[in-house]
């Protein structure tokens, strides 16, 4: 058997490392030769510019730019080789096809590597078809899908390795899919500043999502810490590999909840050897869609208003606009608006007769067009075919006047006034309010964008071939209706109904399924982030009977009763000091609101000036000590979490409960809650 013992494996590792080093040296040489060539070519161009004719200069420039392209590709290969030289592989699967008597060993790594001389594949990229055996099967009958069809056979051996800095830390023989010991080791490590890749321990159910090629829309509902975001990013890496001829990172967009989250996840794809993908927030999208219509309140302001005020009317306005029924009502209104607000008239413009019946016929014939461009097209057609008594076409001024007359025949020329009419016509004028400075409430931003698209037409983001939507529960049906128009591409949509930051407008998987009836849906029940004790504790806040916490143990979360605010501050200072003398790398002080986070920051920053206070304007996530409101901590994780003010005054509504759940589920290893007065009823036994 090939590389039978651990000693054989270690020898093989050294042999492989030597090959990698050789390839790396060659690549470095090639790169420095190429950079010399580029410099020489540029110098030549510069020194001989006067003597070269334009065609020669252009040819020389093309040559330089193609040399640079090749250089960039080689630099990317060098980076991959450098990574492999640290850790060439993490898995091995021996597979015997049905027609063979002996098995072949496949070593699985973050990238593929072939011996330059023999072209023999020594390491297989985790995304290759054969590597799926490693994630999907234990020892026994197995199969994988290859470009030439399904390959049946038997896995005869499986091994997992931890190799760091070229040294094999351990090797585990495992008969099952991914050995729990390896997963445990990965999960008990202290957090990193950025989200890390999970290629060595992808679970079977996660692999199925990553490698799903069939879904046009894939909806992933998963408990807190079930790996949704990690899986979605690995899925992107897989799709980029699988469809490399037609898909590049420039074609993929992620709609992320905020910039801190975008920064936190930004390393995963580069770690997997791919370029970062484009990122955008829903607010950015709304700003683009509403350009020229009106300003609008940002999402985090809506969250703050709901948390800090007791405005039932605001809650009612938000709730009304968060249902499927609202989208249907708006659709029905817009469908009839087309007829109701179009009033064709007989008019004569500078001698050109516009005939009512003819206008109606033209208007209806162009039904597939949005209303405003339709009117413009009608006017252009009328002006184009009109002739005066001398047989001359109308002048430009007359054409403009015809256009103005035709445009007047539709009563509403802008989204804001037509949207206002929607509320008047449906008898609910109180549900739409503009704030001062012509600013729409956040709940109106996407309905307004929808109405604008109805009037003017949508301009889809044609370059996007795959859209990733994280935190799907925070978006309403009307937002999805806008997304469907702007992104007619494949989509991966993920989230957790239990982690809503706005109970008046949160969307469950069932609701989103109604918007994308043909979507494939998957649910993830296993939670990897937190210890069993923390996961169980969080279940007191949001019960999920299907949740399977990972069997990883740690301290029981503690709830510390403090006599007064000064006592609570002293407790938190003690927890921070304990964190500093521990092995842990990140501590999150997660508060309910931004103003509480600001207040704690003000109280602690003298002693710990390096504390990072997260606000909606923050752009970066750093490890160390971080104070954040729960809605910004969503998606992040910390080795230790402290939740201050867990009292009955602060955490009392359903929304507060969601935020407390989010706060607690950010903890990987240790969780402490502090309070004065009466404990929140959500945690009282």
Q: Which of 13, 16, 23, 187 binds ligand ATP (CB under 6 A)?
A: 187
**Interaction mask 61-80, ligand ATP, x per CB under 6 A:** --------------------
Asked whether 375 and 362 are in contact (CB, 8 A), the reply is: no
**Stretch in the footprint of ligand ATP (CB under 6 A) among 197-205, 342-350, 482-490, 531-539:** 197-205
Q: Which of 88, 91, 222, 497 binds ligand ATP (CB under 6 A)?
A: 222
**Stretch in the footprint of ligand ATP (CB under 6 A) among 56-64, 225-233, 562-570, 595-603:** 225-233
Q: Nearest CA to 76 among 253, 270, 279?
A: 270
User: Shortest gap between Cβ of 471 and ligand ATP (angstroms)?
Assistant: 8
User: Shortest gap between Cβ of 110 and ligand ATP (angstroms)?
Assistant: 14
- The answer to whether the annotation marks 225 as part of a ligand binding site is yes
Residue 497 interacting with ligand ATP (CB under 6 A): no
Helix or strand holding residue 124 (H, E): strand 121-125
Three-state SS for 130?
helix
Q: How far is CA 150 from CA 40, 94, 123, in A?
A: 51, 17, 21
Q: Which residue has the tokens 């090959």?
A: 19
Q: Which of 500, 645, 665, 680 binds ligand ATP (CB under 6 A)?
A: 665
| Contacts (CB under 6 A) with ligand ATP, residues 445-484 | none
Q: Which of 87, 160, 179, 201 binds ligand ATP (CB under 6 A)?
A: 201
- The answer to whether the annotation marks 229 as part of a ligand binding site is yes
Closer Cβ to ligand ATP, 152 or 192, answer by number: 192
Closer Cβ to ligand ATP, 206 or 593, answer by number: 206
Asked whether 468 and 232 are in contact (CB, 8 A), the reply is: yes
- The answer to whether the annotation marks 497 as part of a ligand binding site is no
**Stretch in the footprint of ligand ATP (CB under 6 A) among 124-132, 199-207, 426-434, 477-485:** 199-207
Q: Which of 227, 477, 557, 588 binds ligand ATP (CB under 6 A)?
A: 227
- The answer to whether the annotation marks 227 as part of a ligand binding site is yes
User: Shortest gap between Cβ of 257 and ligand ATP (angstroms)?
Assistant: 10
Burial class of 305 by CB neighbour count within 10 A (0 to 12, 13 to 18, 19+): middle
CA distance 492 to 495: 10
CA distance 280 to 283: 8
**Interaction mask 372-401, ligand ATP, x per CB under 6 A:** ------------------------------
User: Shortest gap between Cβ of 667 and ligand ATP (angstroms)?
Assistant: 11
Residue 300 interacting with ligand ATP (CB under 6 A): no
CA distance 179 to 135: 10
Quick one: CA dihedral 14, 134, 207, 518, positive or negative? positive
Q: Starting at the earlier edge strand, list the strands of the sheet with 278-280.
A: 278-280, 252-255, 466-469, 490-495, 217-222, 520-524
User: Shortest gap between Cβ of 542 and ligand ATP (angstroms)?
Assistant: 12
Closer Cβ to ligand ATP, 478 or 662, answer by number: 662
Residue 226 interacting with ligand ATP (CB under 6 A): yes
CA distance 565 to 64: 67
Q: How far is CA 311 from CA 314, 502, 654, 657, in A?
A: 5, 14, 15, 18
User: Shortest gap between Cβ of 208 and ligand ATP (angstroms)?
Assistant: 12
Angle at 102 between CA 96 and CA 108, to 5 degrees: 50
User: Shortest gap between Cβ of 220 and ligand ATP (angstroms)?
Assistant: 9
Query: What stretches of 452-605 adopt beta strand conformation (E)?
Result: 466-469, 490-495, 520-524, 526-527, 548-549, 558-562, 586-591
Our CA dihedral for 68, 73, 78, 84, rounded to 10 degrees, sits at 170
Q: Which of 87, 177, 229, 256 binds ligand ATP (CB under 6 A)?
A: 229
User: Shortest gap between Cβ of 178 and ligand ATP (angstroms)?
Assistant: 7
CA distance 425 to 673: 50
Residue 658 interacting with ligand ATP (CB under 6 A): no
CA distance 475 to 506: 6
Rg, C-alpha atoms of the chain: 31
Q: Which of 635, 643, 674, 683 binds ligand ATP (CB under 6 A)?
A: 635
CA distance 233 to 231: 5
Three-state SS for 286?
helix
Closer Cβ to ligand ATP, 162 or 413, answer by number: 162
Contacts of 618 (CB under 8 A, 6+ apart): 258, 259, 260, 612, 632
Closer Cβ to ligand ATP, 201 or 476, answer by number: 201
**Stretch in the footprint of ligand ATP (CB under 6 A) among 182-190, 207-215, 385-393, 618-626:** 182-190
Residue 202 interacting with ligand ATP (CB under 6 A): yes
The number of residues that bind ligand ATP (CB under 6 A) is 24
Asked whether 123 and 113 are in contact (CB, 8 A), the reply is: yes
CA distance 605 to 627: 10
User: Shortest gap between Cβ of 523 and ligand ATP (angstroms)?
Assistant: 11
Residue 228 interacting with ligand ATP (CB under 6 A): yes
Q: How far is CA 32 from CA 26, 70, 318, 602, 615, in A?
A: 10, 12, 60, 52, 45
Closer Cβ to ligand ATP, 318 or 550, answer by number: 550
Q: What are phi and psi of 197, to 5 degrees?
A: -80, 155
Helix or strand holding residue 353 (H, E): strand 352-354
Residue 637 interacting with ligand ATP (CB under 6 A): yes
Quick one: CA dihedral 124, 129, 135, 138, positive or negative? negative
Q: Which of 177, 203, 505, 658 binds ligand ATP (CB under 6 A)?
A: 203
Residue nearest ligand ATP, Cβ-based: 227
| Contacts (CB under 6 A) with ligand ATP, residues 514-573 | 528-529
Residue 183 interacting with ligand ATP (CB under 6 A): yes
- The answer to whether the annotation marks 226 as part of a ligand binding site is yes
User: Shortest gap between Cβ of 109 and ligand ATP (angstroms)?
Assistant: 16
| Contacts (CB under 6 A) with ligand ATP, residues 69-128 | none
**Stretch in the footprint of ligand ATP (CB under 6 A) among 200-208, 241-249, 365-373, 577-585:** 200-208
User: Shortest gap between Cβ of 147 and ligand ATP (angstroms)?
Assistant: 26
User: Shortest gap between Cβ of 662 and ligand ATP (angstroms)?
Assistant: 8
Asked whether 94 and 156 are in contact (CB, 8 A), the reply is: yes
Residue 500 interacting with ligand ATP (CB under 6 A): no
Long-range contacts from 62-69, C-beta under 8 angstroms, 24+ separation: 64/38, 67/34, 67/37, 67/38, 67/41, 68/38
| Contacts (CB under 6 A) with ligand ATP, residues 306-345 | none
Q: In the structure encoding, which two tokens stand for residue 636, read together?
A: 């992040």
Residue 177 interacting with ligand ATP (CB under 6 A): no
Write out the binding residues: 222-229
Known binding residues for ATP are 222-229
Q: Which residues bind ligand ATP (CB under 6 A)?
A: 183, 186-187, 196, 198, 201-203, 206, 222, 224-230, 496, 499, 528-529, 635, 637, 665
């Amino acid at each position: 058997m090939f590389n039978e013992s651990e000693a054989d494996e270690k020898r093989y590792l050294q042999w492989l490392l030597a090959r990698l080093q050789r390839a790396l040296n060659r690549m470095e040489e090639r790169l420095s030769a190429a950079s010399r060539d580029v410099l020489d070519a540029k110098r030549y161009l510069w020194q001989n510019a006067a003597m070269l004719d334009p065609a020669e200069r252009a040819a020389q420039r093309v040559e330089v730019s193609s040399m640079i392209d090749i250089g960039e590709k080689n630099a990317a290969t060098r980076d991959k080789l450098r990574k492999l030289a640290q850790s060439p592989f993490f898995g091995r699967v021996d597979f015997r096809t049905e027609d063979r008597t002996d098995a072949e060993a496949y070593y699985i790594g973050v990238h593929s590597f072939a011996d330059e001389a023999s072209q023999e594949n020594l390491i297989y990229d985790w995304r290759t078809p054969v590597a799926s055996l490693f994630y999907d099967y234990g020892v026994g009958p197995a199969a994988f899908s290859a470009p030439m069809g399904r390959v049946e056979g038997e896995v005869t051996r499986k091994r997992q390795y931890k190799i760091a800095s070229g040294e094999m830390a351990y090797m585990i023989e495992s008969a099952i899919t991914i050995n729990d010991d390896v997963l445990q080791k990965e999960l008990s490590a202290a957090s990193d500043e950025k989200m890390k890749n999970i290629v060595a321990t992808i679970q079977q159910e996660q692999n199925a999502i990553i490698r799903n090629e069939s879904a046009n829309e894939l909806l992933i509902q998963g408990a807190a810490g079930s790996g949704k975001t990690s899986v979605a990013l690995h899925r992107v890496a897989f799709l980029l590999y699988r469809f490399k001829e037609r898909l590049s990172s420039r074609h993929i967009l992620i709609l992320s909840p905020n910039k801190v989250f975008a920064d936190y996840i930004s390393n995963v794809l580069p770690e997997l050897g791919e370029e970062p993908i484009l990122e955008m927030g829903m607010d950015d999208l709304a700003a683009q869609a509403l350009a020229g219509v009106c300003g609008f309140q940002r999402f985090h302001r809506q969250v703050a208003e709901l948390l800090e005020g007791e405005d039932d009317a605001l809650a009612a306005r938000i709730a009304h606009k968060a249902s499927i029924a609202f989208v249907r009502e708006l659709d029905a209104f817009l469908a009839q608006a087309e007829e109701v607000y179009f009033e064709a008239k007989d008019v004569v413009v500078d001698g050109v007769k516009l005939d009512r019946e003819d206008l109606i016929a033209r208007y209806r014939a162009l039904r597939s067009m949005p209303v405003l461009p339709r009117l413009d097209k009608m006017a252009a057609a009328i002006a184009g075919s009109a002739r005066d008594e001398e047989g001359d076409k109308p002048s430009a001024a007359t054409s403009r006047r015809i256009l103005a007359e035709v445009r007047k025949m539709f009563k509403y020329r802008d989204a804001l006034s037509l949207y206002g009419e929607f509320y008047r016509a449906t008898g609910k004028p109180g549900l739409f309010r503009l704030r001062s400075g012509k600013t729409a409430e956040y709940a109106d931003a996407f309905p307004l964008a929808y109405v604008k698209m109805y009037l003017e037409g949508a301009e889809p983001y044609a370059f996007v071939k795959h859209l990733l939507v994280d935190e799907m529960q925070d978006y309403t049906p009307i937002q999805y209706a806008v997304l469907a128009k702007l992104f007619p591409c494949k989509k991966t949509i993920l989230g957790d109904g239990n982690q809503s930051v706005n109970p008046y407008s949160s969307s469950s998987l069932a609701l989103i399924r109604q918007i994308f009836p043909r979507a494939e849906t998957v649910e993830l029940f296993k939670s990897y982030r937190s210890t069993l004790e923390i996961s169980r504790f969080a279940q007191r806040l949001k019960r999920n009977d299907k949740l399977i916490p990972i069997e990883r143990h740690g301290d029981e979360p503690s709830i510390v009763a403090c006599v007064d605010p000064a006592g609570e501050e002293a407790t938190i200072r003690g927890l921070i000091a304990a964190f500093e003398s521990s092995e842990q790398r990140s501590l999150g002080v997660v508060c309910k609101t931004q103003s509480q986070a600001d207040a704690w920051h003000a109280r602690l920053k003298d002693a710990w000036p390096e504390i990072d206070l997260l606000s909606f304007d923050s752009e970066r996530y750093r490890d160390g000590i971080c104070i954040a409101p729960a809605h910004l901590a969503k998606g992040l994780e910390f080795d230790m979490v402290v939740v201050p003010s867990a009292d009955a005054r602060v955490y009392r509504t359903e929304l507060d409960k969601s935020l407390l759940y989010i706060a607690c589920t950010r903890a990987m290893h240790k969780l402490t809650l502090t309070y004065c007065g009466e404990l929140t009823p959500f945690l009282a036994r």
